[in-house]
Amino acid sequence: MLRTPSGGAGSGTAAADSGLMSIGTVLNVLRDEFPEVTISKIRFLESEGLIEPQRTPSGYRKFSAEDVERLGQVLRMQRDHYLPLKVIREHLDALARGEAVRLPSLGRQRDAGDGELLDEPETPSVARVGRAELLAAAEIGEQELQEWESYGIVAPLPDGAFDAEAVTVAALVVELGRFGIEPRHLRAMKAAAERDAGLVDQVVAPLRRHRNPQTRAHAEARTKELAGLTVKLHAALVQTALGVRLP
C-alpha cells in the first residue's frame, strides 16, 4: 500500500485540504517503490486511460489517493507480471465494477526450488508473414516489393520472411502512393525512424545488460512504452509543422 502525504494544518491550499496532490507530489510518493518512474510516465499512463486525474481551472492535474493507489497497481503489474497496458486496464476496470477476476498471466511457470511455482515471462515470438502473403496483403507485385527493399522501407528477416508489421508498412506505402508520394521519397522517414529507434535502444540498453533476468525482461515493456511515446511525439510534430489537427 502506498503512503500518501496528508495535507496537514496550515497547508493553505484547497487542493491540500481536499486531499488532492500535484503530479510532483505523486512522483515523490511513487519513487519509494518505483525509483525509475517519471512525470512523463505518469502522463503517458493517463493518456492510455489508466488514470483520470482531476484538472484545475488552469489545467493542472490533481491526483486523489485513489489515483495514486491505482498508479501503484499499474506499475506493480508492469514490473512483476510484464502485462501490457490494455490487459492491466481491463483487469482494473473489472475490479472497479466489483467483479471477482484473477490477475492474468502472460508468462510460463517455473519451479522456484521449494515447490513454489513462479511466473516467468516468455520470450515473445515474432509474428511473421511470408513473401507471397505480403505481396497478396499489399496487392503489389514482386517488382514493387523489390523496389521497396532497395530503399530499405521493408526488409526480410534472415529466413526470408517478414515481420508482421511489414503488412502495415506496405499498406501505408500504397496509400501514400495514391497521392504521388513514391517509395524513394520515404527514405528520409525511414532514416528518421531508425534514429528514433537508436535513441530508444540507448535508453533501454542498461536494462538489457542487467544481471537480474527480471530487469532484462522489463526492457521489452520499456521499449514498447518509449516506442509509443516516440510515435505520438512524431505525429504531434508533423501536425504542428503543417498547422493541422487530426481527429
Q: Which residue has the higher pLDDT, 52 or 98?
A: 52
pLDDT of residue 245: 81
Highest mean pLDDT among 35-44, 146-155, 162-171: 146-155
Q: Please state, rounded to an integer, the average pLDDT across all residues of the chain.
A: 79
What pLDDT, in 10s, does the model give residues 108-166? 333 344 433 334 333 334 467 888 888 888 888 999 999 999 999 999 988 888 987 88
Together in a domain, 169 and 239? no
Q: Is residue 217 domain-shared with residue 175, that is, in the same domain?
A: no
Pair (170, 210) in one structural domain = no
Q: Which residue has the higher pLDDT, 11 or 94?
A: 94
* Higher-confidence position of 85 and 198: 198
Query: How far apart are the C-alpha atoms of 200 and 109, rounded to whole Å?
Result: 30
pLDDT surpasses 50 at 225? yes
pLDDT value at residue 247: 65
- Asked if residue 23 and residue 44 are part of one domain, the reply reads yes
Q: Is residue 116 part of a domain?
A: no
* 121 within domain boundaries: no
Beta bridge partners of 108: 120
Q: Which of 69-73, 166-170, 180-184, 214-218 has the lowest mean pLDDT?
A: 214-218
* Overall domain count for the chain: 3
Contact 27, 42 (CB under 8 A): yes
B/e letters for 49-73, b = 16+ CB within 10 Å, e = fewer, are ebbebeeeeeeebbbbbebbebbbb
Between CA 216 and CA 201 the distance in angstroms is 13
Q: CB atoms < 10 A from the CB of 145, how many?
A: 20
Q: Looking up cell 498471466, which residue turns up? A: 105
Query: Are residues 139 and 214 both part of a single domain?
Result: no
Whether 26 has a pLDDT exceeding 80, the answer reads: yes
Q: What is the pLDDT of residues 102-122, one digit of tens each?
A: 766 544 333 344 433 334 333
Average pLDDT over residues 89-107: 74
Angle at 113 between CA 110 and CA 116, to 5 degrees: 60
How confident is residue 1, by pLDDT bands cut at 50, 70 and 90? low
Same domain, 171 and 223: no
For residue 44, the tally of other CB atoms under 10 A from its CB is 17
CATH number at 31 reads 1.10.1660.10
Q: Over 50: is that where the pLDDT of 77 sits?
A: yes
Domain range for 100 is: 16-106
Cell numbers describing residue 114: 521449494
